[in-house]
């Protein structure tokens, strides 16, 4: 995977995947970037060459203007929001909201995102040929447990950590993956309203719609 454009960010992604939140954040903080859709084989797997920049063969991958690459969507969200402080997408380190902001992003990345992976790729999470159904069912339960936890942490607030931040974009992407926004509105009305607020923001909405979220 060669770097096609120097001096700006390159986001390697796939529509509707974890690259969507990073793409939305890049658009909101107005950093110049190019989006590279990672090619897949006939079975939908990323081509083997992708491992050169993504050892786990996962999107997103972010190439920095200096040519280096990073993986992990949460790292990208935190890094990019901090890079453009004037955009106000991250509480500053001395702001008490910073702790809540980091908690939300890391909880989402460490628990909710992996639960979705177990749901969507259940066959990869069991060596038992008949085990995928149980993995999927347990993952679905965990997704809704996490959405309930996130809903509680949001509470009556408009945004997760003070003002609108990268954490809100990240959670909204994960919320969109639940696949049943009507059920979400019923079960987690606060989180559902937060998702609508995030999507109503012009630049995020454009990127989410382009990604089918
Ligand atoms: N911890 C990683 C997880 C990334 C991940 O698993 N991405 C999924 C798409 S959302 C992926 O690339 N799956 C492999 C595939 O599509 O074959 C991150 O947060 O960036």
90-115 residue pLDDT tens: 999 999 999 999 999 999 999 999 99
One fold for both 9-87 and 97-201?
Answer: no
- In the CATH scheme, what architecture does the domain 9-87 have? 3-Layer(aba) Sandwich (3.40)
- Three-state DSSP state, 87: helix
pLDDT of residue 199: 98
Separation of 74 CA from ligand 1 center, angstroms? 12
pLDDT band at 41 (very low <50, low <70, confident <90, very high): very high
Tokens of 63: 């190439």
What secondary structure does DSSP assign to 154-184, as a single string? HTT-SSSSSSS-HHHHHHHHHHHTTS-HHHH
Q: Is the minimum distance from the CB of 76 to ligand 1 under 6 angstroms? A: no
CA 13 to the chain's CA centroid: 11
Share of residues in the chain with pLDDT > 90 (%): 95
pLDDT of residue 7: 82
Cα–ligand 1 centroid distance for 131 (angstroms)? 21
CA-based nearest residue to 201, from 98, 88, 95: 88
Q: What mean pLDDT is predicted for residues 171-180?
A: 97
For the CA of 71, the closest atom of ligand 1 is: 20
User: What residues does each domain of the chain span?
Assistant: 9-87, 97-201
3-class secondary structure, 10: strand
Give the model confidence (pLDDT) of 129-151 as tens digits. 899 999 999 999 999 999 999 99
What pLDDT shows up at residue 158?
97
Fold for the domain defined by 97-201: Glutathione S-transferase Yfyf (Class Pi); Chain A, domain 2 (1.20.1050)
Q: How close is the Cα of 58 to the center of ligand 1, in Å?
A: 4
Whether the CB of 61 sits within 6 Å of ligand 1? no
The finding on whether 73 has its CB within 6 A of some atom of ligand 1 is yes
Strands 61-63 and 69-71: antiparallel
Q: Look up residue 30 and give its two tokens.
A: 């107005």
Q: Is 12 in the pocket of ligand 1 (CB under 6 A)?
A: no
């Amino acid at each position: 995977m060669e770097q096609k454009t120097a001096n700006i960010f390159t986001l390697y992604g796939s529509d509707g995947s974890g690259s969507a939140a990073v793409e939305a954040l890049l658009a909101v903080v107005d950093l110049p970037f190019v989006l590279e859709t990672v090619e897949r084989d006939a079975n939908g797997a990323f081509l083997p060459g992708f491992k050169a920049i993504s050892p786990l063969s996962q999107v997103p991958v972010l190439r920095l203007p200096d040519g280096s690459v990073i993986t992990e969507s949460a790292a990208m969200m935190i890094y990019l929001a901090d890079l453009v402080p004037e955009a106000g997408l991250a509480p500053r380190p001395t702001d008490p909201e910073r702790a809540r902001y980091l908690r939300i992003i890391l909880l989402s990345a460490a628990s909710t995102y992996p639960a979705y992976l177990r749901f969507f790729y259940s066959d990869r999470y069991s060596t038992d040929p008949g085990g995928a159904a149980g993995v999927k069912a347990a993952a679905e339960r965990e997704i809704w447990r996490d959405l309930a936890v996130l809903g509680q942490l949001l509470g009556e607030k408009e945004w997760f950590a003070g003002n609108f931040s990268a954490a809100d974009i990240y959670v909204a992407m994960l919320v969109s993956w639940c696949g049943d926004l009507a059920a979400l509105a019923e079960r987690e009305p606060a989180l559902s309203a937060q998702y609508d607020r995030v999507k109503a923001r012009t630049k995020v909405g454009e990127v989410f719609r382009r990604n089918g979220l």
